[in-house]
Structure 1
Amino acid sequence: MNTKKLIGKTVLIVEDDPKIRNLLKIYLLNEGYEVMEAVDGLDAKNKIEDFDPCILILDLMLPKISGEEICKWVREDLNSMMPIIMLTAKATENNRIQGFKLGADDYVVKPFSPGELMGRIEAVLRRTASRCGKISFSGFTLKPAKGEAWIDGTKLELTHFEFKLIHTFMQHPDQVLSREQILNLIYDNHEKAVSDRTIDVHIKHLREKIKAHSSKEYIQTVRGMGYKFVGL
């Protein structure tokens, strides 16, 4: 099994068929993606608003709100360029043309090969890399271009150094970093302006801000070694 973690690659599967949803989840997890699931259109809207996934795998024939409506809402109401792959039994050329007009980046017809879909996901993400300039793990999302950090839809108010810290941790998930390594990753060696022990104070403050919005211990202390960001 592939154990790599693809930074910033959170996939939201919107599919009401549990067999298809579970099959896709197995393949995506095996490829290192973080996976979220929605069982209908309303569930999808809520998860898109709360978690801002990196790519959307969207069935069109959904309960409550159709996939076409979701796609139109993402593009027009949210004004989002989130990559979208439509997954549907609608196989005519007109259906595909309509899907692309609504703003889909790719269109996959059922029944499909999971392996082919994984290839299409990779291709779409390569083409749209500039749209997904964020890192996301288990409800914690960082948007470096905007300097924003979010937990479960709530924006954290971080200092400049705290943001640099969490950005560094999230770029190295599940990896123990010493204080010296953290400083080297944040600064060029000749630009260090923070001592090793000052790191502890900043991490303490960062943890307090995270704890106010989540019970998950994202930043763990590894005794005698340093700190580790736990992504899952």
Structure 2
Amino acid sequence: MEKQDHILIVDDDPEIRDLLTGYLARQGLKATGVADGREMRRVLAREPVDLLVLDLMLSGEDGISLCRELRAPGQPTLPIVMLSARSEEADRILGLELGADDYLSKPFAARELLARIQSVLRRTRMLPPAVAAETPRARLRFGAWTLDTLARHLVDHAGTVVSLSAAEYRLLRVLLQHPHHILSREQLLQLTQGRDADVFDRSIDLLISRVRQRLGDGPRDARYIKTVRNEGYVFCMAIEAEDRT
């Protein structure tokens, strides 16, 4: 029997939790609903979770704090769909900057959340199309960094591990597979998320900014990822690929 994907919903509204867990269960998913961060940690410590649906406006520890905690260095990568009762663009940008893989404003239809969950899970689990047919290499070295493609994290020259969100990993992986080639925002969206650019196409710019922060790279004095005005981005460092020994 095929394993059910386990979706953990963190929302302090019991009606929303019951509605969503019931709906997702009817769609063939395993769904668990909890009210706060303490219960979230208990579930994560007890059993595997494939994706987290996290409300931004929780009482007590809010979704912002919990998202930061889940994206801290050393934490395993867990896809996150963030929810908010507010629809301001600033909230959406904040969610993406914190490392959420998608963002949904309340009120929403349960089937829309299901579509977002399926899309994020699909993107998380697939290699970019341009590299799917290649033999994966365990490590990609560039400058002072090494990307471990098995553990999906960065390692600096001193051996310190830098965790990446699923979205950050996919973007960096695509850039490393296309060094010295200018990639437009549309191309990056298609390669990393399997979709065309929409009205809110700043997600790639936000991801680029986050990956640059991980690498200690700046937009003006960039060593790794350069911005090509009106065209896109280019990874400009030589790359050495090696297998794990």
TM-score (normalised: structure 1) = 0.52
> What's the CA shift for 1:45?
2.1
CA RMSD in angstroms, aligned pairs only: 2.1
Is contact 2:18-2:33 (8 Å) kept?
A: no
> What's the CA shift for 1:130?
5.5
> What's the CA shift for 1:27?
1.1
Bigger fraction of residues in helix: 1
* Aligned: 1:73 with 2:63: no
CA distance in 2, matches of 1:78, 1:12: 21
> What's the CA shift for 1:17?
0.5
Percent of aligned pairs sharing the same letter:
40
- Residue of structure 2 aligned with 1:55, choices 34, 51, 58: 51
* Aligned: 1:36 with 2:32: yes
Stretches of structure 2 that go unaligned for 5 or more consecutive residues are: 128-149, 152-245
- Residue of structure 1 aligned with 2:106, choices 102, 110, 117: 110
Deviations 1:179-213 (A, max 9, x none): xxxxxxxxxxxxxxxxxxxxxxxxxxxxxxxxxxx
Task: Extract structure 1 runs of 4+ deviating beyond 6 A.
Answer: none
Aligned residue in 2 for 1:166: none
> What's the CA shift for 1:84?
0.2
CA distance in 1, matches of 2:58, 2:73: 19
CA distance in 2, matches of 1:20, 1:109: 13
Q: Superposed, which structure 2 residues align to 1:153-172 within 5 Å?
A: none
Q: 1:46 to 1:94 in 2, by over 3 A?
A: same
Amino acid of the residue matched to residue 72 of structure 1?
A: R
* Equivalent position SS for 2:72: helix
- Residue of structure 2 aligned with 1:90, choices 86, 91, 96: 86
Higher Rg of the two aligned structures: 1
Is contact 1:6-1:32 (8 Å) kept?
A: no
> What's the CA shift for 1:50?
2.5
- Residue of structure 1 aligned with 2:95, choices 85, 93, 99: 99
Aligned residue in 2 for 1:126: 122
Aligned residue in 2 for 1:26: 22
* Equivalent position SS for 1:97: helix
Is contact 2:7-2:32 (8 Å) kept?
A: yes
* Equivalent position SS for 1:13: strand
Stretches of structure 1 that go unaligned for 5 or more consecutive residues are: 132-144, 147-232
> What's the CA shift for 1:64?
2.6
Q: 1:6 to 1:99 in 2, by over 3 A?
A: farther
